[in-house]
Chains A and B, each alone.
Chain A
Amino acid sequence: MRLELRGVTKRYGSLVANDHVDLTVEPGEIHCLLGENGAGKSTLMNVLFGMVRSDEGEIRIDGEPVRFADPGEAVAHGIGMVHQHFMLVPVFTVAENVVLGFEPTRPLGFLDRRRARADIRRLSEQFGLAVEPDAVVEDLPVGVQQRVEILKALQRDARLLILDEPTAVLTPQESEALFAIVRSLAAAGRSVLFITHKLKEVLSVADRITVMRLGRVVGTTTAAESGESELATMMVGREVELVVHKGPAHPGAAVLEISGLTVADERGLVAVDGVDLTVRAGEILAVAGVQGNGQTELAEAITGLRAVVSGSIRLDGQELAGRSPDVAIAAGVANVPEDRQVDGLVLAMTVEDNLVLDIFDRAPFARHGARDLAAVRANAEARLVDFDIRAPSPVVSVGSLSGGNQQKVVVARELSRPVKLLVASQPTRGLDVGSIEYVHRRIVEERDRGVAVLIISSELDEVLALGDRVAVMYRGRITGVVDPGAGRDRIGLMMAGVDATDGDRPGPEAPGPPAVAGDGGAP
């Protein structure tokens, strides 16, 4: 399919989310749409998939102008979409999920399961998907669930497949497997539109690359013609650093000592399984791992948010295991939570209130149970400058800020009181390159000030760039603590549960980690 977007414009009030966007995807082409969060990629895809009406412009398929009133019409025209959050019924089998909504039936309306299975086997073999039609979706690793989504689109004869941030939930090995599938789809003449903000992926998979910024197309290029730093420059409009500049660490005494820590998840299953970890003053320990291998629960246990089954968490000798968040805060633990919008901020409240969310009842922000609003305002004005938070005023709601500025509010708050240990989970998730750089620099500054830093991230690049030491977590255990110089491949294998010390096991075919000891598998 040849897809053309011409002059697509979408306005939300005064905000122009898409400003005369032109984009052409040739048959059999892997076309990457690259851009920061908020660049307008999602809006464009929603227009293309019939979920949002554009204000101007047209869509042509093989030269014919089309208009989609809803996703069903887009599907009927051969467009398939794999969302970032899978749209699968966990308790159904692969076959049932694939045919859901488009069920092949026999006379009298009975479901034709045999035909459904046969379709899936055929497609699965043709494109190397390796999916078993009778497997129950919730038992499958995330990478395989994603392939079920791809199958769904193929079964509906999608000739253009849109993949929205498909690697966010995958291990490096699973990502490689996905790229192979994408290439085989393209080889069979199907077009793929691959949305991402990860530069390395773009360069390894794309035939052509279109970069978007602030709702506009900045340019279209090919992988051969451009390198990472050129693409990054196009994305943010200026030269950006992809490496974190930091000097060598000067580790001091152990600040955080975790021994034999076992933590259960909501379902009572072991999520953190006998973990021992030490973080010293003035060093950054980065915990790598695919999400859902116990990192979240580890961070929650340290910050007092989650009960501990056994083991101890000592901060400068003070036992924190099983204590409450306010004890951890008082002891000097700063917490940049994984999901800033859920755990870090009260979106409906103002920036100034969010900046004192965990110290609102202490001097100078309160006296005798009454808040000192002037002190709160003064604090906010100072932080907005210190942390370069772009907010029109301290009294706008924090929810109206961009993701990067929201995260800066969280970081500013957590670092605005005396801190011994900084726990930061996915500190740059969903941020633009400029904000990533800024947050990384602040974290390194804290380290150099003698704070013990524990970073939890599923972005391997971030782990390698920030960590002085890297601990890899898999299924609730630390599979090893290595130097960041150990290399992406070795750490990637450790993340997938392959013991990197016995090197005789094959790499790419290594089984993906069954979704999670901890979070119920499918998102």
Chain B
Amino acid sequence: MTPEGPDPGGGHLVPPGPGADRPDGALVLAPAPPRAGSRLRWIVEANVVVVTALAIVSSLVLGGVLIIATSPTVLHALAHIGSHPGRALGVAGSTVGDAYAAIFTGAIVSPTALGHAITTGHGWTGVLTPISETLVSATPLVLAGLGVAIGFGTGVFNIGAQGQLIAGALAALYVGFAVHLPIGIHLPLVVLAGALGGAVAGFIPGYLKARTGAHEVISTIMLNYVFLNLLNELLTTQPFQQPGQSNAISRTIPTTARLPHLFGSGLRANLGFVIAVVCVLGASWFTRRSTAGFAFRVIGSNPKAGRTAGIDVRKVTTAVLALSGALAGLAGMATLSGTDFFLSSGYGGNIGFDAITVALLGRNRPVGVFLGALLFAALDTGGRNMQAATGIPLDLAFVIQAIIVFFVATPSLVREIYRLRESGASIGQVLSKGWGG
């Protein structure tokens, strides 16, 4: 998951043509290299990759220290380090090694299961389960993360992905159970409803900001509560509540409203992941090649110059929040139609807020968001396996997640630790900018 190698953060999924924009369209404050040329741009990009990789390595090291410090067996061994130094270090090393191995096998693939499947020809479902689960939990993070990132890149701080996600899920749910059509028509309608529900939920704060100047950070946060409680209310009333249930549980959507599985019924990976990938490519194109994406970037970087150049800042603000909401709405739809098939109270968990973290992790670039979401999801599914296999609490996986984000979001800290020369902009600049408006 570590974005290593020559591909600099993945700006290559859409080939940079001769007149290609800077691939870091979202990183609007990045000082351009003094001399042009793709080589130098690559180095600047690569530096971002190097810093990100170092941030991940650093957090794994720090996580290892935490594992050692919280493991009773290791601590016991360390207490006798004077008499058995080799044994103490061995226990420490193997505990950390086992923990990270469990994360890997839980998130990606288990080498033993793979070997067994290759020799016997059976058990492929078991081999693919970890990666399938990682893709499933990455899907809503990718979608909602893209939405948040597009906002950040335009200087709009959408903290309301959670609410927009719920709105999208509610709209998709309604179209899912209330309409009866063949899957070829029904499913697209459900997808569309999810996007639309989220878009409406995003449009509201956008319109309020454009009309009255109400700061989107406040209005989107508050709307999270509105949609969360609207969900709870609807789950106990008709037509949303499952008939015959007194619990807050919705009706179940029929198979015609469900996203088909990608690798057979045994694995939960579904079409939602494909939708997420398409959205990543679309967002990548949108940011770099579309006129609207250009206007977004101009407004994100210097709204005054944009206004002087005739760009309607209010229109852009409204459009950005609606688009951001639509992507969050798709995230809500993807979990509903892909894996859950019904809504219950507390639906969406923390995805809308993790999406903010993922956007930071991906430095607001579509491909970065994609990789960030995969990393986040892998730590999540892998962490569960670690808990089951080694008894190390899942919370520690979350701590490692948090440390990774901490390092990635503070590149100047990583540069300081590894004595790297400054070259890219820090995400903090992009972030702190918008709070003034």
Contacts and interface: CB of A to CB of B under 8 A. Distances in A.
Contacts of B30: 348
A325 B31 contact: no
A370 B22 contact: no
Contacts of A343: 304-305, 308
Which of A329, A337, A344, A346 is packed against the most chain B CB atoms within 10 Å?
A: A346
A23 to B, nearest CB: 29
Given A347-B302, A348-B29, A357 B309 contact: yes
B4 interface: no
Contacts of B11: none
Interface string B186-207: 0000000000000000000000
Contact of B302 (A305, A342, A358, A376): A342
A277 interface: no
B174 interface: no
Contacts of B291: 360-361, 366, 369-371
A432 interface: no
20 contacts: A303-B308, A335-B308, A342-B302, A343-B308, A345-B305, A346-B306, A347-B301, A347-B302, A348-B30, A349-B298, A349-B301, A350-B32, A357-B298, A358-B310, A360-B295, A370-B289, A371-B290, A373-B17, A373-B18, A400-B34
B302 A373 contact: no
Nearest to A366: B291
Interface in A357-390: 357-358, 360-361, 366, 369-371, 373-374, 376-377
B278 interface: no
B336 to A, nearest CB: 31
B39 to A, nearest CB: 12
Nearest to B297: A349
Interface residues of A, number: 41
Contacts of B307: 305, 325
Contacts of A325: 307-310
A381 B41 CA distance: 19
Contacts of B20: 373
Given A392-B36, A396-B33, 5 more contacts: A347-B302, A348-B31, A374-B19, A392-B34, A400-B31
Interface string A293-328: 000000000010100000000000000000011101
Contacts of A347: 301-302
Contacts of A324: 310, 312
A396 B289 contact: no
A395 interface: yes
Interface in B253-298: 289-292, 294-295, 297-298
B32 A346 contact: no
A28 B245 CA distance: 94
Interface of A: 303, 305, 324-326, 328-330, 335, 337, 342-350, 352-353, 357-358, 360-361, 366, 369-371, 373-374, 376-377, 392-397, 399-400
Given A348-B30, A350-B32, A377 B18 contact: yes
B37 interface: yes
A52 B28 CA distance: 29
Contacts of A374: 17-19
A378 to B, nearest CB: 9
Nearest to A398: B32
Given A357-B305, A369-B292, A396 B31 contact: no
Nearest to A358: B309
Interface of B: 17-22, 28-37, 41, 289-292, 294-295, 297-298, 301-302, 304-312
A348 B301 contact: yes
B31 A399 contact: yes
Given A369-B290, A371-B291, A392 B309 contact: no
Nearest to A327: B310
A342 B32 contact: no
Contact of A346 (B21, B36, B298, B310): B298
Contacts of B289: 370-371, 373
A370 B282 CA distance: 12
Contacts of A352: 19
A393 B310 contact: no
Given A342-B304, A349-B297, A371-B290, A395 B22 contact: yes
B43 to A, nearest CB: 14
Contacts of B29: 348
A264 B309 CA distance: 22
Contacts of B312: 324, 326
A396 B304 contact: no
Which of A326, A371, A399 is packed against the most chain B CB atoms within 10 Å?
A: A371
A346 B290 contact: no
A342 B310 CA distance: 15
Contacts of A326: 310-312
Query: Which 9 A/B pairs are nearest by Cβ-Cβ distance?
Result: A397-B32, A393-B36, A373-B19, A326-B310, A358-B309, A377-B19, A361-B291, A357-B309, A346-B302
Nearest to A393: B36
A353 B307 CA distance: 15
A324 B312 CA distance: 8
